[in-house]
Structures are given as C-alpha cells and as structure tokens.
Chains A and B, each alone.
Chain A
Amino acid sequence: MNAPAYNFAYLDEQTKRMIRRAILKAIAIPGYQVPFASREMPMPYGWGTGGVQVTAAILGPQDVLKVIDQGSDDTTNAISIRKFFAKTAGVATTTATEEATVIQTRHRIPETALNANQVLVYQVPIPEPLRFLEPRETETRRMHALAEYGLMHVKLYEDIARFGHIATAYAYPVKVNARYVMDPSPTPKFDNPKMDNCPALQLFGAGREKRIYAIPPYTQVVSLDFEDHPFEPYRFNAPCALCGAENSYLDEIVTDDKGGRMFVCSDTDYCEGRQAAGHHGSLSAAPYKEKAQEASNG
C-alpha cells in the first residue's frame, strides 16, 4: 500500500527525457521557442502547467524547491505546486531565495540576486511576443526566422502615440543574445534588467502553447525601446509600508473604500527577510507586537 503511486516528480522518464531535449535545444538557441509535446498535468491550463513540466524534468532528489506566485510564497498556486513536488518527488522545499536551487515563478523575479547554482523556471501563458500584432503562427515563425522585428516597434510606437510614453508595463519584449525577440512572460518590466547577464539559468515553459525557451547564464538581454523614448523600469514612488525598502517592486493594496492604500514588497521572502533584519516601514506591525509583549511582561 505504501508503494509510490507516481514516478519521481510525477512525469514518467520518457516524458522527462523529451522535455530535457527541448530544454537543451532552447539553451543552445537563446530566446528561440522550442516546440515540445506538452502533457496534461493535474492542474488547469493557466496555473503553470508549462512551468511544472520544466521543473519536473530538471528536478533531482538533492534539489531545494521554491515556488513564487506574483512574488508571494504563500498564495494558493505557490503552495499547491510546492506541495505537489514535495509529495511526488520528496524534495525539500523552502521560501528563502538563497537556499533554493530550483525556483519556479509566476510573474516575478526574486529581489535577491540569483547565483550560478540556481535555475529560475517561469510559467508562461503566451510565449509569442508578436502574437497580438500578427495572429498567424506561420507568419510569426517566418518573422523570427528572418529576424524581422519591425512589428515589435509598431506596438511600442502605438503606446507612445496613445499615452505619450511606452505604457507596456509587463511582458515587455526583450531581445536575447542580439538575435531573438522574446516575451519574458508577464513579469513587470521592473524585472527586465535582472534578466540581463544573470548568473542563473532561466527556463520558460508554456504548457498550453507547448513551447519551451531559455536564457542561458550570462546572456545579454536587452529591452526594446526607441532612441528618444528609452526603456525605463517602473516602480511606485513609495517605500514598502512593512519593511521600508526603497528599491523593491511594490504591490498596491487597497485598504478601505475611501482611497486608502498601502504599498508593500511583492516579494514576500525579501520583505520578511528585511523585517527580520530590523527594517521597519510606516505600517509595520512589528512595533505593536513589541508593545503588546511589553504590556504582557509588565
């Protein structure tokens, strides 16, 4: 009865070999979308089926897994994927960025700088950066093959014409290794500079669209822009209300129906780490905790 019901990390070995081959090809051609035979996973499309398959294919028994969803380690999606691999692969899991060897992410790159022993796996909904401008797959493939990327600038032109600045705030197109234009998945453009020359391997899996692509370590990643409208990462102009960080990506949290709001780090691990190290923000609960403790002691 205690015999394992699943192969290590859920997928069978043949499937993992197939995915690894796609990953190797993706690493060999940075930014190129490699088709692969995506499997049905025990979760709905849009919940990270692509990322989960890539993680399953690269995970080893010694790995330590961290899963982030919109920067947070404790949302439903992050918790269930972490539990999934804890159960099917028996690997150690963590929420600390420094301790993890494989980090599966949705929509964020951790604030803590990654190192060469880590792999970052992105969940990608729509891998094709040209899709909304050119609906034909045959045509977009030809455009990638011939490096015809004028159309990508048409999108940026439209932004400036309509809003006066490049208003694309997430899934901001990048050029990888001076060749392929790539969709960095719906990460905020704040995270784009972190992709450039990153020591960690970055893998992207799109389950529904059946594509895998990659940025090898230390690869040049350039955000597209115009000479007179250069790329600018966007950040709310406020410190984190909990840890006071001035340089992290912030979530806006609406606190009442009278316009009240607070800004907090979207990377919960980073924020908690800073609070543990004694940093406080304007709305930090920590001082109250201390006061409560003093009251009970006294």
Chain B
Amino acid sequence: MADQNLVENDEPLLVAKCLSKSFGRIAACRDVSFSLYPGEVLAIVGESGSGKSTLLQMLSGQLAASAGHVSYRMRDGVTRDLAALGEAERRFLFRTDWGFVHQDPAQGLRMAVSAGANVGERLMAVGWNHYGRIRDTASDWLTRVEIDVARIDDAPRTYSGGMRQRLQIARNLVTEPRLVFMDEPTGGLDVSVQARLLDLLRSLVAELHLAVIIVTHDLAVARLLSHRVMVMKGGRVIETGLTDQVLDDPREPYTQLLVSSILPP
C-alpha cells in the first residue's frame, strides 16, 4: 500500500508547459512551466498585475492559454490535456476532483441558500439523492471547518467574513478533491481571523493530502502554507524554489525587495 502511494506520488498531478497569455499587446503571462505533485502546496507570489490570477485561471481551465498547455492526471491515472477535454468533462472535473476558493466568498458561494445546501450542492450535482445523508455530510463538514452546526440552515449572507471563507472551503472539499486552487483566500480578513483560517487550512491540507496552488501577495501566507514558492513579476516566473529557501535567501533583486518589504512584527 505504501509502495503504491509512493509510485503514485512519483508522477506529477498537474503539469504546465510554456503557458502564455496575452490580451492584445499586453502579455499577462509568459512562458510559465512547472509540475505539481500530489500533496504539494505551491504558492504563487508577486505584486498586483504580475499575472498571478491569469495564471491561476489558465491552470484551472477557466481561461484558454494563448500558447502552451496544462495537463492533469485524472482519477483513473491517465494524464490528459485540459484543452482537449470536452466542456462537460471539464465542468465535472471542476466540481469533483478540483476545488476553487475565491478571494470574495460571494463568488464561490450561493449567498441566498442555506449553508447546508451550499455544502451539499456538489454532492447533489454528482447524484446524491438522499436528504438525510446529504445533511449529515454537510454537518460533518461544517464541524470540520469549525462552524457551529446550529447555523446549518442560515444563509451565508448572515455569516461573518471568516465564517464565509471557511464555508467556502467546506463546500469545495466535500467531494474530496485532490487539487484545490486558492485565490488570495485570506484577503480582506483581519489578522486573528486570518491566523485561524491558515491554521485550519494547514491541518486540512495535511489531513486530506491535498495538492494546492495558492495565489497570494502575502508572503506570510506563503511561508505558513506552502512547500514551494514561485515568484512572478511582469508575467514571468523570476524565481522558484523551496519556500524557506526563497524567502530566507532570495536571489533575485525583486524577491529581495519583496521579502524586505514585510514589516517587522
């Protein structure tokens, strides 16, 4: 069993090759290549406008690349090019094997329906047809993301910012995805709530053996969560490596600037 896991972990889950995207004359993303392995957390850092979000959208199949391609190892072990997937397959992948945590929870949640239904939606989309079981799973997940089960029937618009973000995470993880994309998951939250969310994310990622691609401008988030860091500037990846190595011993002048601009606590 352990051996099999090792073999499985040996092959990359997601491979990006020479990804580029230009909007007219503006090159938002240039020539990005990397591999992501199961259970690995990759942080993409850089200032606004450096092409992080464009890259994330291309990786998650929401935006067609101008050049290059992304391939993903499906649950059946076959690696396939995302651009070659049909729309139905891509959407199915998106709501089963993948998760996407938006910076603004209103984008990732249905604000008008209850928390339970928000968590249960993915289950119902894959054919769960037993109310009791859906509800039990939803309560289980609310507990795991530290939301009081008594609030299962409240709509997320009555939730605080931190709770909404945790609900969004539960909604994404309920189908046990192998890969989760996160776009600034802690943006707009106050520091203590951020700390709690990061703590939760870190334990869930370890527990579920999730691969995560997290886009952030907050180096502290990258340091806490990620194994590897990619630094982007002007659409290019300028430095990549193990998190502590990049953050403690930055090579590129821009990375040095980025690291030194963190305020001392």
Alpha-carbon separation in the docked complex, A148 to B94 (Å): 13
Count of residues in B whose CB is under 8 Å from the partner chain: 22
A298 CB → nearest B CB, Å: 64
Residues of B within 8 A of A150 (CB): 121-122, 124-126
Residues of B within 8 A of A158 (CB): 113-114, 117
Contact status B129-A157, CB under 8 Å: no
Contact status B153-A157, CB under 8 Å: no
Contact status B91-A151, CB under 8 Å: no
Residues of A within 8 A of B116 (CB): 157, 161
A224 CB → nearest B CB, Å: 9
B157 at the interface (CB under 8 A from A): no
- Residues of B bordering A, CB below 8 Å: 87-88, 91, 110, 113-114, 116-117, 120-122, 124-126, 129-132, 134-135, 152-153
A39 at the interface (CB under 8 A from B): no
Contact status A227-B130, CB under 8 Å: yes
Residues of A within 8 A of B110 (CB): 133, 154
Alpha-carbon separation in the docked complex, A227 to B117 (Å): 17
Contact status A154-B121, CB under 8 Å: yes
Contact status B131-A157, CB under 8 Å: yes
Contact status A154-B117, CB under 8 Å: yes
A290 at the interface (CB under 8 A from B): no
Within 8 A of B (CB), among A103-117: none
Say whether, besides A158-B113, A162-B153, A153 and B126 are in contact (CB < 8 Å): no
A226 at the interface (CB under 8 A from B): yes
Residues of B within 8 A of A228 (CB): 130-132
Residues of B within 8 A of A1 (CB): none
Alpha-carbon separation in the docked complex, A229 to B135 (Å): 13
Apart from A146-B88, A161-B153, what are 8 other A-B pairs with CB-CB below 8 Å? A133-B110, A150-B124, A150-B125, A150-B126, A154-B113, A154-B124, A226-B129, A229-B131
Residues of A within 8 A of B121 (CB): 150-151, 154
Alpha-carbon separation in the docked complex, A52 to B41 (Å): 61
Alpha-carbon separation in the docked complex, A153 to B110 (Å): 14
Say whether, besides A162-B153, A226-B129, A157 and B134 are in contact (CB < 8 Å): yes
B112 CB → nearest A CB, Å: 9
Contact status B88-A161, CB under 8 Å: no
**A-B contact list, 10 entries, CB within 8 Å:** A148-B91, A150-B121, A153-B129, A154-B113, A157-B116, A158-B113, A158-B117, A160-B131, A226-B131, A228-B132
Alpha-carbon separation in the docked complex, A227 to B134 (Å): 11
B132 to A, closest residue via Cβ: A228
Contact status B124-A153, CB under 8 Å: yes
A143 to B, closest residue via Cβ: B91
Contact status A146-B91, CB under 8 Å: yes
Alpha-carbon separation in the docked complex, A157 to B130 (Å): 10
Alpha-carbon separation in the docked complex, A161 to B134 (Å): 11
Residues of B within 8 A of A148 (CB): 91, 125
Alpha-carbon separation in the docked complex, A133 to B116 (Å): 15
Selected from A133, A142, A146, A226, the residue in CB contact (under 8 A) with B130 is A226
Residues of B within 8 A of A153 (CB): 124, 129
Q: Mark A144-166, 1 if CB is under 8 A from B, else 0.
A: 00101011011001101110000
B218 CB → nearest A CB, Å: 32
B113 to A, closest residue via Cβ: A158
B89 to A, closest residue via Cβ: A146
Alpha-carbon separation in the docked complex, A226 to B129 (Å): 5
Contact status A227-B91, CB under 8 Å: no
Residues of B within 8 A of A161 (CB): 114, 116-117, 135, 152-153
B124 CB → nearest A CB, Å: 4
Residues of A within 8 A of B113 (CB): 133, 154, 158
Residues of B within 8 A of A146 (CB): 87-88, 91
A234 CB → nearest B CB, Å: 18
Q: Mark A226-249, 1 if CB is under 8 A from B, else 0.
A: 111100000000000000000000
Residues of A within 8 A of B131 (CB): 157, 160, 226-229
Say whether, besides A148-B91, A226-B129, A228-B132, A157 and B122 are in contact (CB < 8 Å): no
Alpha-carbon separation in the docked complex, A161 to B126 (Å): 20
Alpha-carbon separation in the docked complex, A160 to B131 (Å): 8
B61 CB → nearest A CB, Å: 15
Alpha-carbon separation in the docked complex, A162 to B126 (Å): 23
A151 CB → nearest B CB, Å: 7
B88 to A, closest residue via Cβ: A146
B244 CB → nearest A CB, Å: 42
